[in-house]
Amino acid sequence: MNYFKVCLWLTAPLLLGACASQSAKAIAKLDTESAEFNSVPCQNARHNAWLYDEAQKNKIWAGPSVILLAGPIAVIPVLASNIGINTADHIQANDISTQCGGQPLTQDALNQNIAVDATISVVVGGMAPSVAPKASAP
């Protein structure tokens, strides 16, 4: 049974690796034929979206690795950094929608999306300590 947990933990990042950032999703929803799409503010907002794609990819591998290396003491800082990255990504996605003629979210909807992502980070982040090797008693 312990091997099952280890296999699950090792394959979860592969399955979650295909998750795109909210900024990338916002860009995919834009109308490329609109006048706002080619405006300078929109181009600047879209140009900075790659940062969140890279952060999304890296946090999937880095968070569990830090937890496994540092132990359970690293769970709270890793989860806090994941929530911070998710929050910044949602705010950037909303800015992209605003600058490029898309439908920006209301503040309540934005807060709700951030809360859902934070909950998912907590649930997925809790998976690494559950499969960490148990220390044997001397």
Query: Is 11 part of a structural domain of the chain?
Result: no
Q: Check residue 108 and give its pLDDT.
A: 92
Q: Would you say residue 7 lies in a domain? A: no
pLDDT digit string, tens, across residues 73-118: 888 888 888 888 888 999 999 999 888 888 888 889 988 988 888 7
Tell whether the model's pLDDT for residue 18 goes beyond 50: no
Domain that holds residue 35: 23-130
Give the chain's end-to-end CA distance (angstroms, integer). 24
Statement: residue 53 has pLDDT above 60: yes
Q: Is residue 124, in this structure, part of any structural domain at all?
A: yes
C-alpha–C-alpha distance, residues 73 and 77, integer Å: 8
Total Cβ atoms within 10 A of residue 15: 10
Calculated CA dihedral for residues 39, 42, 48, 53, nearest 10 degrees: -130
Residue 72 has pLDDT above 70, yes or no: yes
Residue 82 CB: number of other CB atoms within 10 A? 23
Is there a domain that residue 14 lies in?
A: no
**Lowest-pLDDT choice from 4-8, 97-101, 131-135:** 131-135
**pLDDT at 136 > cutoff 50:** no
Average per-residue pLDDT for the chain: 77
64 residue type, one letter: P
Is 137 part of any domain?
no
For residue 69, being part of any structural domain is answered with yes
Total domains in the fold of the chain? 1
* Inside any domain, residue 16: no
9 confidence band (pLDDT: 50, 70, 90): low
The model's confidence at residue 137, banded by pLDDT at 50, 70 and 90, is very low
Residue 43 · residue 32 · CB < 8 Å: no
103 domain-assigned: yes
